[in-house]
């Protein structure tokens, strides 16, 4: 697949209210921040990365490298579904050649380049329409890859559930890749401290 037809949409617009006054996206992770680490994981995929920002947008943007395409979503308070719809619309305007969009979050740091590359390779090899991540609780979520016949559905999302209902619709034929505990996301400071300790100890999830 031509890399120009693949776009990567990183969602990082939320205020993360459960983190208190901490800006989750800028928490240290290794030699980077959580959002910087997430962007690093996408670089080997050889596709353009677009980052949707909302809360704390200017502060986060100032920490990103110049080659990252930032999409400022003024209605970010409407939830993740709104951010996906906005992001997909913007990506298609900027790069009309886009035929495939990978959507991921900035707060799942153990879903690394190897996992993303495997997800994309399986998606292409099996000619899937949707490929997504299977969590330990058997739910299906992001990172997820959507082909163009689902762009209209993504652009119509409004709820804070994001694409969850679409990804867990039994009527859809979705290729899933198990992520195990690596799919753990950071919602609280306690989550962050626990995963940070795992990282420092060199353990795997």
Q: What is the mean pLDDT of residues 174-196?
A: 93
Domain boundaries, the chain: 3-200
- Both tokens of residue 153? 């559905």
Say how many C-beta atoms besides its own lie within 10 A of residue 102's C-beta: 23
Query: Based on the number of CB atoms within 10 Å of its own CB, is 181 exposed (0-12), middle (13-18) or buried (19 or more)?
Result: exposed
What is the structure's pLDDT at 179?
96
The answer to whether 117 touches 41, Cβ cutoff 8 Å, is no
CATH number for the domain whose boundaries are 3-200: 3.90.550.10
Residue with tokens 């596709």: 47
Using the predicted structure, report yes or no on whether residue 137 has a pLDDT greater than 60: yes
Using the predicted structure, report yes or no on whether residue 102 has a pLDDT greater than 90: yes
Residue with tokens 């999830």: 205
- Helices of type H across 146-201: 151-155, 164-167, 189-200
Contacts of 186 (CB under 8 A, 6+ apart): 24, 27, 34, 107, 108, 109, 192, 195
Q: In the chain, what's the furthest Cα-to-Cα distance?
A: 44
Q: What is the mean pLDDT of residues 146-163?
A: 90
Give the three-state DSSP class for 123.
helix
Minimum mean pLDDT among 3-17, 35-49, 105-119, 153-167: which range? Answer: 153-167
User: Rounded to an integer, what distance in angstroms lies between the CA atom of residue 42 and that of residue 60?
Assistant: 18
Q: What is the mean pLDDT of residues 19-27?
A: 91
Whole-number mean pLDDT of the chain? 92
Using the predicted structure, report yes or no on whether residue 8 has a pLDDT greater than 90: yes
Report pTM.
Answer: 0.94
What is the structure's pLDDT at 2?
67
- Both tokens of residue 60? 């986060």
C-alpha distances (whole Å) from 102 to each of 74, 84, 87, 98 are: 22, 11, 11, 11
User: Rounded to an integer, what distance in angstroms lies between the CA atom of residue 92 and that of residue 186?
Assistant: 29
pLDDT tens digit string along 26-85? 999 999 999 999 999 999 898 999 999 999 999 999 999 888 899 999 999 999 999 999
């Amino acid at each position: 697949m031509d890399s120009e037809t693949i776009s990567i949409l990183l969602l990082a617009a939320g205020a993360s209210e459960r983190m208190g006054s901490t800006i989750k996206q800028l928490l240290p992770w290794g030699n980077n921040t959580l959002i910087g680490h997430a962007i690093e994981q996408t670089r080997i995929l050889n596709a353009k990365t677009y980052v949707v920002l909302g809360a704390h947008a200017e502060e986060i943007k100032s920490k990103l490298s110049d080659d990252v395409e930032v999409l400022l979503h003024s209605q970010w308070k409407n939830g993740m579904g709104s951010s996906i719809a906005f992001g997909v619309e913007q990506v298609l305007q900027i790069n009309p050649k886009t035929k495939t969009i990978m959507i991921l979050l900035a707060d799942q740091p153990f879903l690394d380049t190897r996992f993303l590359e495997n997800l994309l390779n399986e998606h292409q090899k099996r000619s899937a329409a949707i490929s997504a991540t299977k969590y330990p609780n058997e739910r299906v979520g992001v990172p997820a890859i959507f082909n163009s016949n689902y762009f209209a559905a993504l652009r119509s999302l409004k709820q804070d559930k994001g694409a969850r209902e679409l990804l867990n619709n039994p009527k859809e034929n979705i290729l899933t890749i198990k992520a195990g505990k690596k799919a753990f996301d950071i919602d609280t400071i306690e989550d962050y401290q626990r995963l940070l300790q795992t990282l420092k100890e060199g353990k795997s999830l």
